[in-house]
Amino acid sequence: MGKAIEAVALEKGHQIVFKIDVSNAGDFTQALADQADVAIEFTGPHSAVQNILKCIEYGLPVVSGSTGWLEEWNKVEAACKAKNSTLVYSSNYSIGVNLFFEINKQLAKLMDPYLNYDVSMTEIHHTEKKDAPSGTAISLAEQIIANLGRKNNWINDAACNPNEISIRSERIDPATGTHTVAYSSPIDTIEITHTAHTRQGFAAGAVLAAEFAANKKGVFTMKEVLGL
């Protein structure tokens, strides 16, 4: 993602002041942070929180796309607010997926009274992906839970209780990311699917979020970035 984001940012005329990866993580100092308008953080579940907290501490707006760390969301959000800093977080920066999120919410609202439909989800990614289910799948499940009265939990398993949404994770190369939400009744099935063809969509959305974050204070999602 770092390489894809760099390519989009340069193409849009931005300057990359520094690049941090696992080999030079110790070089990220206040002095370095002061040279930048915004940081874009796509590392992984085990490093995201410390990286985001460092940006917050340095007063550098941060756009994070790392997934698999949301159990620490409250701590990170509180730190951002306490420091009057800036965080944009999305489990998926693709503009198409964010439109898909809105369709998912609307569909859950429409299906709420029709109790003979059960909802389930599938997500397919490449075999290098470290977390399951995907952050995008968790976002989709949470949107369904907020809008469909009969579900209050999700489970990363094919089998589930009636109050749970089953999320099935498949790891197949070179899948870039497919998410399906299916409502099935004995009579028919209604499915919505988003398939990413390249990583370009994530990178374009992340750079858009960085442009948005550079002169804002607070905690935002792609919903605000895209004005949805």
Ligand X SMILES: NC(=O)c1ccc[n+]([C@@H]2O[C@H](COP(=O)([O-])OP(=O)(O)OC[C@H]3O[C@@H](n4cnc5c(N)ncnc54)[C@H](O)[C@@H]3O)[C@@H](O)[C@H]2O)c1
202 phi, psi to nearest 5 deg: -65, -45
Whether the CB-CB separation of 117 and 181 falls below 8 Å is answered with no
Q: Is 117 in the site for ligand X (CB under 6 A)?
A: no
Q: Would you state the structure tokens that stand for residue 94, as one six-digit string?
A: 């693709």
Q: In this chain, which stretch among 59-67, 76-84, 106-114, 156-164 interacts with ligand X, using CB under 6 A?
A: 59-67
Smaller CB separation from ligand X, 76 or 111: 76
Cα–Cα distance, 169 to 163 (Å, whole number): 19
Whether the CB-CB separation of 33 and 55 falls below 8 Å is answered with yes
Whether the CB-CB separation of 186 and 116 falls below 8 Å is answered with yes
CB of 82 to ligand X, least distance (A): 23
Reply yes or no on whether 129 is catalytic: yes
Cα–Cα distance, 63 to 212 (Å, whole number): 10
Smaller CB separation from ligand X, 68 or 183: 68
CB of 51 to ligand X, least distance (A): 6
- Write out the binding residues for ligand X, residues 198-227 only, by CB under 6 A: 202
How many residues bind to ligand X according to rule CB under 6 A?
21
Q: Would you state the structure tokens that stand for residue 72, as one six-digit string?
A: 């620490």
Smaller CB separation from ligand X, 45 or 96: 45
Reply yes or no on whether 194 is catalytic: no
User: Active-site residues: which are they?
Assistant: 125, 129
